[in-house]
Amino acid sequence: MDVLNSGDTAWMLISTALVLLMTVPGVALFYGGLTKKANVLNTMFMSLIAFSITSIIWVLYGYQFAFGADMLGGIIGNPANLLFSGIGVDQLSGTIPETVFIAFQLTFAAITVALISGAVVERMKFSSWMVFVIAWVSLVYVPIAHWVWGGGFLSALGALDFAGGTVVHVNCGVAALALILLLGKRKEVKLLPHNLGYSVIGAALLWFGWFGFNAGSALAADGLAGQAFINTNTAAAAAMISWVIIDYLKTGKPTVLGAITGAVAGLVAITPAAGFVTVQAAVIIGLLTSVVSYLSISYLKPKLGYDDALDVFGVHGMSGLWGALATGLFAAPFIGEASGLFYGNPEQLLIQIIAIVVVAVYSFVVTLIIGKIIDMVMGLRVEDKEEIEGLDISLHEETGYRI
Amino acid sequence: MKEIVAIIRPNKLDEVKDALEETGCHGITVTEVKGRGRQLGITESYRGSDYRIDMLPKTRLEIVVEDEDMENVIKTIVETAQTGDIGDGKIFISTVDDVVRIRTGERGEEAV
């Protein structure tokens, strides 16, 4: 029988707060600094409101559908505790209170949808974004979380995703791609950060919070959490270094935006693998992930011509994809009780591929449908005039700076 | 009387201001402006993509002086604002027909 462990509980409460810090203010600052001056508040606001909306959805019904007892053959959880009814303070989830587990998972749902905003900034209607957050968390995030983490069919298949390579990063990256295909390009398609200093602070807060994200996903204050912690830091560091090297090779100058982009890509890539692989594997995963994301941002994006404003697909989608595959390659049986290709279990790689494809296809198609319906009912995109004026003034009647 | 309009690097403003003060030139109007010269700005690189930044922040000084002080003021600005690199700026000189001091109504050189 499970017994409450106060050490585990304390760590999970801290982890939950750390993951909260990743969205507000982490993502808000990271994205806010990368946009134009006239859109800084709107960009930050998208993360803030995503966090609030998801918080309410999660306690009312999101958690229940995602983590309720499996039904309909692994498709969705049974929402026995709708509206938080019947979830008592004494109820346990493993060695921690279920309330703590719910709060921890809430922060994952919130950051996943907030991450999507980076692709659509500078042109999406705020009202449509709010409706999108409600629909997307309910219809895309919740079922996928159930499939992979809530005992659904991908989990039954043996898909490995320690802290969200497929559930969070492939999912948000692909959804971002679907949404920008509907939205279209901005009038001025440029990545000219108006305040890179914000982005450095935001990325640093993401890195800091990611320890809660990944080490917290051990759901205990134990050695596995320690392994996930050191893997997380290692991969981020390796990826930052490799992006800086790529910058040197391509242009002769290292860039700060490159360094923090590399770090975030490294954090993304290690997420699914954090509790399954060795530190040596974390170095390789980190070093290679910058190559994957760099290529997709500097070659794939211009070639295909989509306007992923802040490179959500390029960084989260592609590095998430690489991390999920790498989990199938590097999973070591003496770390997380699962073996990958390099430990004699090629089947794991196949399972990872299936999980990635299922999540990506579902996320893409359903996001397209949600986006299309919102577009037909209320429109996705702001008026040209509003876009040119900047969304802070035209949508919120506020400016980020009065100097 | 001459009007001297100098476009200089923003970080040179304090140096130029102090040097002008030493030469006895006190009246000065400063504006933060943006612009570009013959090189059409500079190039910045973000995530591997190059972008031309063609409107660079500059500082614009407006100074009206008596004819005999003109060369001295120009020399002072050139000496202090010069770095030798592209983007040091330009000085435009034109003739001023008249000046009015609003407080007293004085005209001409008296009002400068």
In chain B, which residue's Cα lies nearest the Cα of A297?
B47
Q: Are A309 and A186 in contact (CB under 8 A)?
A: yes
Length of chain A: 403
Distance from CA of A191 to the nearest CA of B (A): 7
Phi-psi region of B48 (alpha: psi -120 to 50; beta: other; left: phi over 0): left
Cβ distance A190 to B51 less than 8 Å, yes or no, reads yes
Sign of the alpha-carbon dihedral angle for A327, A275, A107, A393: negative
Whole-number Å distance between alpha carbons of A176 and A363:
9
In angstroms, the Cα distances linking A396 to A24, A39, A42, A390, B63 are 19, 10, 8, 10, 41
Rg (Cα) of chain B, in Å, rounded? 17
Q: Are A111 and A55 in contact (CB under 8 A)?
A: no
User: Cβ of A316: how many Cβ atoms within 10 Å?
Assistant: 32
Cβ distance B48 to A261 less than 8 Å, yes or no, reads no
* A240, A249, A256, A257, best to mutate vs chain B, most B CBs in 10 Å: A257
DSSP B22-78: HTT----EEEEEEE--TT--EEEEETTEEEEE-SEEEEEEEEEE-GGGHHHHHHHHH
Q: Which residues of B touch A (CB under 8 A)?
A: 44-49, 51, 53
Map residue A76 onto helix, strand or coil. strand
CA dihedral A82, A84, A85, A87 (to 10 degrees): 120
Q: Are A391 and A36 in contact (CB under 8 A)?
A: no
Specify the residue for token string 């994200």.
A213
B1 is written with which tokens? 């009387």
Phi-psi region of A83 (alpha: psi -120 to 50; beta: other; left: phi over 0): left
Closest CA to A77 of A150, A160, A140: A150
pLDDT value of position A403: 65
Distance from CA of B56 to the nearest CA of A (A): 14
Element (H, E) at A260: helix A256-270
Whole-number Å distance between alpha carbons of A306 and A311:
10
Q: Which residues of B touch A302 (CB under 8 A)?
A: 49
In chain B, which residue's Cα lies nearest the Cα of A253?
B45
Q: Which residues of B touch A401 (CB under 8 A)?
A: none
ipTM of the complex: 0.80
Partner-chain residue, chosen from B46, B48, B49, that has the shortest CB–CB distance to A193: B46
pLDDT value of position A247: 96
Q: Are A43 and A202 in contact (CB under 8 A)?
A: no
Whole-number Å distance between alpha carbons of A389 and B37:
27
Partner-chain residue, chosen from B44, B46, B48, that has the shortest CB–CB distance to A294: B48
Q: What is the pLDDT of residues A90-134, one digit of tens each?
A: 999 999 999 999 999 999 999 999 999 999 999 999 999 999 999
Say what angle helices A40-57 and A126-136 make with each other, to 10 degrees: 30
**DSSP 8-state assignment for residue A71:** E
A26 phi and psi, to 5 degrees? -55, -65
Q: What is the pLDDT of residues A26-73, one digit of tens each?
A: 999 999 999 999 999 999 999 999 999 999 999 999 999 999 999 999
A221 phi and psi, to 5 degrees? -90, 80
pLDDT(B112) > 90: no
Q: pTM score, two decimals?
A: 0.90
Name every residue whose Cβ is closer than 8 Å to that of residue A110 and which is 6 or more positions away in sequence. Answer: A20, A23, A50, A51, A54, A55, A58
Cβ under 8 Å to B: A residues 210-269: 246-247, 250-251, 253, 255, 257-258, 261
Q: Are A373 and A132 in contact (CB under 8 A)?
A: no
Specify the residue for token string 């981020």.
A236
Q: What is the pLDDT of residues B47-88, one digit of tens each?
A: 888 888 888 999 999 999 999 999 999 999 999 999 999 999
Closest CA to A13 of A80, A102, A78: A102
Whole-number Å distance between alpha carbons of A214 and A86:
29
In angstroms, the Cα distances linking A334 to A225, A325, A348, A352 are 14, 19, 16, 19
- Cα angle, residue B18 at apex, residues B15 and B24 outer, rounded to 5°: 145
Write the single-letter amino acid at B87: G
A44 is written with which tokens? 């930050």
Q: Are B77 and B67 in contact (CB under 8 A)?
A: no
- Cα angle, residue A384 at apex, residues A186 and A25 outer, rounded to 5°: 55
pLDDT tens across the length of chain A (403 residues): 689 999 999 999 999 999 999 999 999 999 999 999 999 999 999 999 999 999 999 999 999 999 999 999 999 999 999 999 999 999 999 999 999 999 999 999 999 999 999 999 999 999 999 999 999 999 999 999 999 999 999 999 999 999 999 999 999 999 999 999 999 999 989 899 999 999 999 999 999 999 999 999 999 999 999 999 999 999 999 999 999 999 999 999 999 999 999 999 999 999 999 999 999 999 999 999 999 999 999 999 999 999 999 999 999 999 999 999 999 999 999 999 899 999 999 999 999 999 999 999 999 999 999 999 999 999 999 999 999 999 999 999 999 998 6
Whole-number Å distance between alpha carbons of A68 and A88:
15
**DSSP 8-state assignment for residue B93:** E
Partner-chain residue, chosen from A192, A294, A302, that has the shortest CB–CB distance to B46: A192
Q: Are A175 and A1 in contact (CB under 8 A)?
A: no
Q: Which residues of B touch A192 (CB under 8 A)?
A: 44, 46, 51, 53
Task: Give the residue ranges of DSSP H helices in A296-390.
Answer: 301-304, 312, 318-330, 333-336, 346-377, 384-389
